[in-house]
Amino acid sequence: MPAPPSQDLLRSERLALVADLDRLPDEQWRQPSLCAGWRVVDVAAHLAWTPVLGPAAGAAAMARHRFSMNAMIAGLAVEWSSRGREAILDQLRTNAATGARPIGMPLVAALSDAVVHGIDVRHPLGLATPVPPDAVGPVADFALATPWPLHAVIGGSARRRVAGVRLVVPGVWEHGSGPEVTLSAEAALRLVYGRAVGPDEVSGAGVGVLRGRL
């Protein structure tokens, strides 16, 4: 069982992403992320203002988007992105300093947002930023434990996606039973959160079981 995440880990992941975003030229802020339909700027805006969205504003946004959580999240990300680069970076720094997270959201959910959306930004841009080993287990297990219908907002059912195999991130994290699939920490998180994983990123006897889910 992985150790529960700490505020220090959340803060360091948020600040690491701020540092990467701050170094990007403006044209890379406009490039597509791994989140379908979202640019890098949209992901950054989502991370900036979701933790500080108040109950009244959240309820109003849900109503505007016909009570679809996914539609609301997508719509607000694009809407907030218009506030611009500096406002987004300032809010991300504030969130890191204060530990802000949406009302009722556990620390591990906020860490998952920071880590997985960090991958969404960095992977398509070719930024090599390793996932901290202490984050892998809590973030992956959070996705695997998220039930229907809540898993709709994190890419669908992680348990269904990896059923029938044993996932192994060597020396860091393991999950499941069946033929083994070995992969990196980043690839494991992309897999359980419904992002694409290339066939060259997995190895082992269980790869055939996952074929069609990658």
Q: Give the pLDDT of the chain (214 residues) as one tens digit per residue.
A: 566 678 999 999 999 999 999 999 999 999 999 998 899 999 999 999 999 987 767 677 667 866 566 677 777 888 899 999 999 999 999 999 999 998 888 999 999 999 999 999 999 999 988 999 999 999 999 999 988 767 777 777 899 999 999 999 999 999 999 999 999 999 999 999 999 999 999 999 999 999 888 8
| CB contact at 8 A, 124 and 161 | no
| CB contact at 8 A, 69 and 62 | yes
What pLDDT does residue 36 have? 87
- Residues 69 and 1: their CA atoms lie apart, in Å, by 31
Residue that the structure tokens 């990300």 belong to:
77
Distances (CA, A) of 74 to 61, 62, 210: 11, 11, 29
Q: Which helix (H) or strand (E) holds 21?
A: helix 7-23
What pLDDT does residue 61 have? 65
Q: What is the DSSP letter of 177?
A: S
| CB contact at 8 A, 140 and 53 | no
| CB contact at 8 A, 50 and 113 | yes
What pLDDT does residue 43 have? 97
What's this model's pTM, rounded to 2 decimal places?
Answer: 0.91
3-state secondary structure at position 145: helix
3-state secondary structure at position 117: helix
What pLDDT does residue 102 have? 86
How crowded is residue 14: how many other Cβ atoms within 10 Å of its Cβ?
25
3-state secondary structure at position 174: strand
Nearest to 154 by CA among 121, 109, 188: 109
Cis amide linkage into residue 149, ω under 30° from 0 = yes
Domain boundaries, the chain: 7-129, 135-210
> What would the two tokens of residue 194 be?
């419904």
> What would the two tokens of residue 24 be?
């990007």
What pLDDT does residue 77 have? 86
What pLDDT does residue 147 have? 83
Strand partners, 203: 182
**CB proximity list for 195: less than 8 A, separation 6 or greater:** 34, 119, 120, 123, 155, 189
